[in-house]
Amino acid sequence: YQRRQFPVALCIFQVIFILAFSLCAHFNAHALPDNKSKVYVNTDYPLFQDIHVMSLVGFGFLMAFLKRYGFAAVSMNLLLCSFVSQWAMLLRGFLSTEFRDSYSFTISIEEIMIADLSCTPILISMGALIGRFTPMQFVVMAFIETAVCIGVEYLVITVMHVNDGGRSLVIHAFGAYFGLAVARTARKVRMISKRGTIRVVGEDAFDDNSEDGVDHSELFSMIGTLFLWIFFPSFNAAVQEPEDARIRAVINTYLSMTSCTVITFMLTSLTDRHGRFNMIHIQSSTLAGGVAIGSVANAILQPWHSLLIGGVAAIISVFGHTHLQPWMRKSFLSVTDTCGVHNLHGLPGILSGVCSIIIVLVYDPSYYGDSLYQIYPYFAGGEKMGNRDKYEQALYQALAILIVFGAATVAGLITGLFLRGGCINQMSDPTGAHAENSERAGFYYGLPQEVLWRSMELQREMQMRYRDHESNEIF
């Protein structure tokens, strides 16, 4: 029963998606025959390509540094992107005014670009859980998290009129804290390490002396970092309006990331007693500047402000790696953050929200000219007939941080409790049914990856690799 859950569930979901699209979705006018315009393809499609590469290549290879879960990281990344994109387009269509008027919605390049953005929080949450969840659990989590995330985004952006242009709060912070909350309540999977000791799956990612690695895993992860670094300005600029705000978003993101990278290299050398570079810091913390600038990338008017935010993001990200992450694993929280998403997405995402409060208070609204009401739509004097001044807007920006953090945490805790139920396919635990074999050091080495792929019909290939590994150990 549990072995067939995954293909059956995917079949049911995909049939539902096809029926929903057939009943409610249609192309917009620019995608229909006889349309001669090329403007939309020339402006939106390059941004869509950049975000697409970030989601599939950047996030996929960023998680490939995990020694035993490289295949799972890259391929589950592809599956979840494909699944969430369809589900997100449906949810956003159902929330649109067009659907309320005509019970149908349109699909264009802009919609698939925004759907790609909606994949990011799920991929972030996956980073906190990789190695401990089966494909079935990931799909169920993605289904729930996408619905909650889009609901929170609708509340914060559309209803409350909060400026979160690069979506650092509703994407990065939400995805990180949702994943951490799931990791807190979901069942911990144990395995027998190569040394014969029992450890929680995922903790091996932080073992600097791990013997289970392969030489190219860190290089693959660095490739993912480079792709994310290159395309992050497009990510933060994708949904910005008007055009001057989009240009500012690109420039501010680039400046923030350059500053963040320099400070990260400085700090990673300082935190090592031999002055060496820690690759985990370089792969992760160098990207924190892109997250931290997101909420204010369209609003910052002074370049040095972007450089400052990037430097602060590097400090809190490296501090998270060196101090907070070990404490979270060993404290009463007992949270194993496999890929360190708290340091790359959670803390910089909250920092971005705090910066949005400061920027709205520091800058005079007159600085923005006609762009003011597209950055802060509910300011007094705009088309939406709002009545806010900068102090009220700052209050709403602060409230958005609390809403995102609270919703992500509560929804994640509930989702984790649901996913640990016996009705959903779980990872095998060698300390349970197979405990009698635990005296064989290395018997379960690689088993979580084998179990992860079992429902994806790659069992034969993984068993062959496992037998080859056993033979190498014997000789």
Q: Is the pLDDT of residue 226 over 50?
A: yes
pLDDT class for 221, splitting at 50, 70, 90?
confident
Termini Cα distance of the chain? 39
In a 13 Å sphere around the CA of 309, the CA atoms on its Cβ side amount to 35
Mean pLDDT for 132-139 is 88
pLDDT in tens, 153-181: 999 999 999 999 999 999 999 999 999 99
- Per-residue confidence (pLDDT) for residue 468, from 0 to 100: 52
Please state, in angstroms and rounded to a whole number, the distance separating the CA atoms of residues 313 and 292: 6
241 — phi, psi (to 5°)?
Answer: -140, 145
How far apart, in whole angstroms, are the C-alpha atoms of residue 417 and residue 419? 6
Q: Tell me whether strands 25-27 and 190-192 are parallel, antiparallel or unpaired.
A: unpaired
User: What are the tens digits of pLDDT across the range 42-69?
Assistant: 567 888 899 999 999 999 888 877 766 7
Pairing of strands 198-200, 190-192: antiparallel
Summarize the confidence of residues 235-259 as an average pLDDT: 93
pLDDT confidence tier of residue 458, bands split at 50, 70 and 90: very low
pLDDT in tens, 436-445: 333 332 322 3
CA nearest neighbour of 117 among 22, 237, 13: 237
User: For residues 76 and 176, what is the distance between their CA atoms, to the nearest angstrom?
Assistant: 18
Q: Determine the average pLDDT of the residues in 130-148.
A: 91
Cβ contact 317:291 at 8 Å? no
Spatial separation of the C-alpha atoms in residues 196 and 229, rounded to whole Å: 39
Query: Is the distance from CB of 53 to CB of 81 less than 8 angstroms?
Result: no
Which of these, 179, 141, 147, 149, lies nearest to 167 by C-alpha position? 149
Q: At what angle do helices 135-153 and 390-419 cross, to 10 degrees?
A: 160
- Per-residue pLDDT at 72: 78
Handedness of CA 308, 309, 313, 314 (dihedral sign): negative
Cis amide leading into 33 (omega within 30): no
User: Which of 84-88, 352-356, 436-440 shows the lowest per-residue confidence on average (mean pLDDT)?
Assistant: 436-440
Confidence of residue 460 (pLDDT cuts 50, 70, 90): very low
Contact 344, 288 (CB under 8 A): yes
Q: Give every CB contact of residue 425 below 8 A, 6+ residues apart in sequence.
A: 2, 3, 5, 6, 134, 136, 137, 455
Question: Strand pairing partners for 105?
Answer: 25
Q: What is the pLDDT of residue 332?
A: 83
**What phi and psi values does residue 105 have, to the nearest 5 degrees?**
-145, 165
Percentage of residues in the chain having pLDDT higher than 70: 79
> Is it the case that residue 454 has pLDDT exceeding 50?
no
d(CA 202, CA 65): 12
The pLDDT assigned to 206 comes to 42
Mean pLDDT value across the chain: 83
Cβ neighbours of residue 99 closer than 8 Å, sequence gap 6 or more: 24, 93, 105
Spatial distance between the Cα atoms of 247 and 430, rounded to a whole number of angstroms: 54
pLDDT at position 275 over 80: yes
Q: What is the pLDDT of residues 359-384, one digit of tens each?
A: 999 999 999 988 899 999 999 888 88
- Residue closest to 356 by CA, chosen among 386, 310, 329, 395: 395
Q: How confident is the model at residue 446 (pLDDT cuts 50, 70, 90)?
A: very low
- Given a contact cutoff of 8 angstroms between Cβ atoms, the answer to whether 164 and 295 are in contact is yes
pLDDT tens digits, one per residue of 277-305: 888 899 899 999 999 999 999 999 999 99
Q: Residue 430 pLDDT > 50, yes or no?
A: no
Q: What angle do CA 190, 331, 337 make, to 5 degrees?
A: 55
Specify the pLDDT at position 42.
56
pLDDT for the residue 228: 95
Residue 101 in 3-state DSSP?
Answer: helix
Q: Which amino acid is at 148?
A: V
- In this predicted structure, the answer to whether residue 216 has a pLDDT above a threshold of 50 is yes
Mean local confidence (pLDDT), 321-332:
89
Per-residue pLDDT at 220 exceeds 50: yes
Which of the two residues, 347 and 469, has the higher pLDDT score? Answer: 347
User: Residue 122: what residue type?
Assistant: I
* Among candidate residues 232, 165, 102, the one with its CA nearest the CA of residue 157: 165
Q: What gap in Å lies between CA 197 and CA 288, rounded to an integer?
A: 34
For the chain, what's the residue count?
A: 475
The pLDDT of residue 398 is above 50: yes
Q: Which neighbouring-strand residues pair with 192?
A: 198
Could you report the per-residue pLDDT of 177-206, keeping only the tens digit for each? 999 999 998 866 554 444 444 445 444 444
Helix, strand, coil abundance in the chain, percent, nearest 5: 70, 5, 25
pLDDT score of 276:
85
How many CB atoms are located within 10 Å of the residue 411 CB?
22
Beta bridge partners of 107: 27
Q: What are phi and psi of 382, to 5 degrees?
A: -90, 180
